[in-house]
Amino acid sequence: MSEVDRSVSAAGMDGVRFDKDRFPDAMGPRCKFGILTPAPNTIVENEMHEMCPPGVINIVNRYYVPNQEVRSDDDWRLIMAHTRANVANAVDGLVQGQMDHLIMGMSSESFMGGVEGSMALRKELKERAGCDVTVGAEAAELAFEKVGAKRIALLTPYYPVIDKNAVQYFTEKGYEVVAVEGLKCKSIIHVGSQLPDTLIPATKKLAEAKPDAIIQLGTNLRYAHVADEAERWLGLPVFSVGVAIYWAALRKMGINDQFKGFGSLLEKY
CATH code at position 145: 3.40.50.1860
Domain total in the chain: 1
Buried b (16+ CB within 10 A) or exposed e, 49-81: eebbeeebbbbbbbbebeebebeeeeebebbbe
Nearest to 27 by CA among 65, 55, 52: 55
Segment 82-109 shows an average pLDDT of: 93
Q: Which amino acid is at 80?
A: M
* Predicted confidence (pLDDT) per residue in 226-263, tens digit: 999 999 999 999 999 999 999 999 999 999 999 999 99
CA end-to-end span of the chain: 58
Is 214 part of any domain? yes
pLDDT in the model for residue 254 = 98
Per-residue pLDDT band for 2 (boundaries 50, 70, 90) equals low
In a domain? residue 266: no
pLDDT-derived band at 5, boundaries 50, 70, 90: low
In a domain, 217, yes or no: yes
Rounded Cα distance between 25 and 57, Å, is: 9
Please write the tens of the pLDDT for every residue from 127-184. 999 999 999 999 999 999 999 999 999 999 988 888 999 999 999 999 999 999 999 9
* 101 pLDDT more than 50: yes
Can you give the residue range of the structural domain that contains 233? 137-240
Is the Cβ–Cβ distance between 215 and 244 less than 8 Å?
yes
What local confidence, expressed as pLDDT, does residue 71 receive? 81
Residue 127, pLDDT score = 97
List, as one string, the DSSP characters of 83-99: HHHHHHHHHHHHHTTT-
Within 10 angstroms of residue 111's Cβ, the number of other Cβ atoms is 27
The CA distance from 115 to 137, in Å, is: 9
